[in-house]
Structure 1
Amino acid sequence: MSPRSTPILFLHGSWHGAWCWTEVIAHLVPYDRPTLAVDMAGHGLRARRPECLSMRPFDPDALATEVSPVAEVDLDQAAELLISQIEGLGRGAPVTVLAHSMGGAVLTRAAQQVPELVAHAVYLAAIMPGSGKAADGYFALPENADALVLPALRGDSGVTGALRLDLASNDPAYRQRLREAFYGDVAPVVADAALGLLTPDAPVSMMRGTTRLTRDGWGSVPRTYVVCTRDMAIRPALQRVLIAEADAAFPENPTSVVTLESAHAPFLSVPGDVAEIVGKLG
């Protein structure tokens, strides 16, 4: 299969869904590449919402303590689903996979397990964990200290089993914080529409899983990292840490780095640029 015809699969990050790639896929039409956007385990149409969000009157204590209906979704399940989605799109041939944010950890596990099915791994402002390292450990690093997502979380993830957003909140300051965290350079009306499509719970178990990386597994797959320089969810300094770790572990297969002047959601703010980056890859 030629690079021009290699299919492209898009995997979103936490709280998002396949819907977030609509504009990017539209811009890929001139590249004549088969494309597919999928829902990650526990997200999109596979998400389940906690009952507390629809209770009336609203109970803030329940928001903070109700166990998430997706609490048991872990990295194993997420990677198994992604591999099946890759197999379905490629029908046995390799596929270029672009993952955003937390989707990067799922892509890393899948590429380690079936490197022959991943033609190119593209990380868009994504967690690209090192060998044996959990995704959640990176968010506490000093390089991510001023990120805006953790302050927006509600409840105790140790109790709920999820990183929970209060998407039903009518607090203008809180909603503005969410916009700044995810959609800082997106038109306000589009950002509000995107907030309305998010799912409230991101499974913690998925973020605590680890993958042992090998040279003939993930280390053998060509990879590109797209650094988003205005990102307030995964700060650019942390993105550079991830790249440095990967290159130190597998220097014979260095990361190709591309820079976008964007916040955390370039698929909404500059979809044509994202399409151009991935459209030209094999």
Structure 2
Amino acid sequence: MVGGVNIISPVVLVPGMWHGSWAWSLVTERLAGRGVPSIAVDLDGHGLKRHSPTARWARPFDSAAYAAEPTPSAGVTASSAAATLVEQLRRIGGGRPCVVVAHSMAGCVATAAVETAPELFAELVYLAAFAPVTGVGAVQSLATPENAGEQVSRLLIGDAAAIGALRIDPGDRARHADIRDAFYHDVEERTAEAAISLLGDDGPLGIPGEAVSVTLQRFGAVSHTYIVCLDDRAVPLALQRRFVDEIDAVSAHATTVVELATSHSPFLSAPDDLAAAIALVHQNAVSVH
């Protein structure tokens, strides 16, 4: 209660690698229609915080130079991005705990953030997200049997270790079919093309590459929900299930699992269903807090 007005804790939506806050626009509309306050933020190195390699804009375009140029976001790590997210949560929630929804590789950042400031989380919702809770970086999970069949690695260009990033080239029209297959295969074509045009180049390697450690007393004390995308070609179903098991091993309460029959991007292909799932989590979290 602030100034006699009941202030409801907001939902904070965090987009994954290469995406920005724009990805959540269809969901925020629907959450508003349900009376749920929400806001989308950008990860460090993404969205309005993105700095593309200069070679992307050079004309004539030199694909070899683009693939080899070190990323301008080399200093971004899971910890540094988590520190930014914690600042955002303090500002957005005014000290109240928020429901945080993290998509894909943003799960690394949210995991580190909740370990840092669990008091700012009413609930952490993983959306087809990486959840590095075993003391190693999320990049380690890319080599596991559960990740077999993923369609993201074929999008990458350049030597990730040398340039400091997982780089894609959304400006190459010839790659659009593969990008759509990996992220948006169930998204209406015009929407998928618009999304591809908004994608960034670099996912800073310091986000999945940093080992994140969590404790039962901090991370484990916060309630968790995992929204599984059953037809995901970026984070295979088996890997999502593995993350749920690993979260449960370091948590005081079992993870609530919600299933959506969608691709990796239900915020574009099934915003009504996703908003309904988030609204239910928010309702339950608000009633507890």
2:15 is equivalent to residue 15 of structure 1? no
- What is the aligned partner in structure 2 of residue 253 from structure 1? 253
Shift of 1:146: 0.9
Shift of 1:210: 2.0
1:153-202 alpha-carbon deviations (Å, 9 max, x no partner): 0000111111110111132xx21010000001001111000000000111
For 1:258, what is the secondary structure of its paired residue?
Answer: strand
2:205 is equivalent to residue 207 of structure 1? no
Does structure 2 retain, via aligned residues, the 8 Å contact 1:10–1:98? yes
- What is the aligned partner in structure 2 of residue 185 from structure 1? 186
- What is the aligned partner in structure 1 of residue 105 from structure 2? 102
Opposite residue 256 of structure 1, the aligned amino acid is: T
Distance in 2, matches of 1:150 and 1:195, equals 17
Evaluate the alpha carbon distance shift between residue 4 and residue 242 of structure 1 in structure 2; reply closer, same or farther with a 3 A threshold.
Answer: farther
Opposite residue 74 of structure 2, the aligned amino acid is: A
Shift of 1:31: 2.8
Opposite residue 266 of structure 1, the aligned amino acid is: P
> What TM-score, normalized to structure 1?
0.96
Opposite residue 199 of structure 1, the aligned amino acid is: G
Distance in 2, matches of 1:153 and 1:280, equals 36
Instruction: Tell me the number of residue pairs that the alignment of Structure 1 and Structure 2 aligns.
Output: 278
Does structure 2 retain, via aligned residues, the 8 Å contact 1:4–1:33? no
- What is the aligned partner in structure 2 of residue 35 from structure 1? 38
- What is the aligned partner in structure 1 of residue 279 from structure 2? 279
Shift of 1:77: 1.3
Distance in 1, matches of 2:227 and 2:257, equals 6
- What is the aligned partner in structure 1 of residue 57 from structure 2? 54
Distance in 2, matches of 1:170 and 1:125, equals 27
Q: How does 1:1-282 map to 2 (within 5 A)?
A: 5-171=8-174, 174-250=175-251, 252-281=252-281, 282=285
For 1:264, what is the secondary structure of its paired residue?
Answer: coil
Distance in 1, matches of 2:199 and 2:181, equals 15
Shift of 1:102: 0.5
Evaluate the alpha carbon distance shift between residue 141 and residue 238 of structure 1 in structure 2; reply closer, same or farther with a 3 A threshold.
Answer: same
Identity percentage over the alignment?
40
Which runs of 5 or more residues in structure 1 are unaligned? none
Does structure 2 retain, via aligned residues, the 8 Å contact 1:20–1:267? yes
Does structure 2 retain, via aligned residues, the 8 Å contact 1:27–1:271? yes
1:81-101 alpha-carbon deviations (Å, 9 max, x no partner): 100111111101100000000
Opposite residue 161 of structure 1, the aligned amino acid is: G
1:47-102 alpha-carbon deviations (Å, 9 max, x no partner): 00101111122212112210011122111210011001111111011000000000
Opposite residue 149 of structure 1, the aligned amino acid is: V
Shift of 1:211: 2.1
Opposite residue 114 of structure 2, the aligned amino acid is: A
Shift of 1:4: 9.4
List structure 1 runs of 4+ shifted beyond 3 angstroms. none
> What TM-score, normalized to structure 2?
0.93
Shift of 1:248: 2.4
